[in-house]
Amino acid sequence: MKNQSALKWLIPSIGILALFAILMGLFYETPGEPYPITSFRGEQVMINGHGLYYYDTVSTVAQMQGNDIIALFVGLPLLVISTFLAGVYPARRGGSLRGRLLLTGTMGFFLYTYMSMSMLTAYNMLFLVYVALFTMSLYAFILCMLSFDLEDLPRHFSDKLPRRWIAGVLFAIGGFLSLAWIGRVVPELLHPEIPAALENTTTRVIHSMDLALIVPLAVLAGILLLRKSAWGYLLASVAILKGLTMALAVSTMAINMALQGVPDSLAIMVPFLVLTALTMVVAVMLLRNIKEQTHY
Partner 1 sequence: MKRQPALNWLIPLIAVITIIIASTGLFSQGGSGPFPFTTVYGDTVEIYGKGIYRHDSTFVAALFRGTDAITLFISIPLLLISYLFYRRGSLRGSLFMIGMILYFLYVGVSYTFSTIFNSMFLFYTALFSASLFATMIAFTSFDTELLISKVTSGMPRRGMAIFLIVAGLGTLMLWISELIGPMMTGTAPANLGPYTTMFTHGFDSAVITPATVVTGILLLQRKPLGYLLAPPLLILCTLIGVVVISQTISQALEGIVFPIGVYIGMVGSWVVMGAFAIGLTIRYFRNISETVQ
Q: Please report, as ranges, the residues that interact with partner 1 according to CB under 8 A.
A: 37, 40-41, 47, 55, 118-123, 125, 127-128, 130-132, 134-135, 138-139, 182, 185-186, 189, 192, 196, 198, 200-205, 207-208, 211-213, 216
Q: How far is the CB of 248 from partner 1 (least distance, A)?
A: 25
Give the whole-angstrom CA distance, residue 21 versus residue 23.
6
Q: Smallest gap, in angstroms, from Cβ of residue 162 to partner 1?
A: 27
In terms of CB distance, is 186 or 274 closer to partner 1? 186
**In this structure, are residues 14 and 136 in contact, taking their beta carbons and an 8 Å threshold?**
yes
Q: Of 97 and 136, which has the nearer Cβ to partner 1? A: 136
Residue 238 or 283 having the CB closest to partner 1: 238
Cα 130 → chain centroid: 15
Count CB neighbours of 131 within 10 A: 15
Amino acid at 204: R
Nearest to partner 1 of 161, 218 (CB atom): 218
Distance CA 266, CA 246 (A): 19
- Shortest distance, position 25 Cβ to partner 1, whole Å: 15
> Which of 186, 284 has the CB closer to partner 1?
186
- Cβ neighbours for 87, distance < 8 A, ≥ 6 positions apart: 1, 93, 94, 95, 96, 99, 100
SS (H, E, C) 188-204: HHHCCCCCCCCCCCCCC
Minimum CB separation from partner 1 for residue 265, in Å? Answer: 19
**CB of 117 vs partner 1, minimal distance in Å:** 9
Nearest to partner 1 of 64, 244 (CB atom): 64
Q: How far apart are CA 171 and CA 61, in angstroms?
A: 30
Output Rg (C-alpha) for the chain, integer angstroms: 20
114 by Cβ neighbours in 10 Å (0-12 / 13-18 / 19+) ranks as: buried
Q: How far is the CB of 78 from partner 1 (least distance, A)?
A: 23
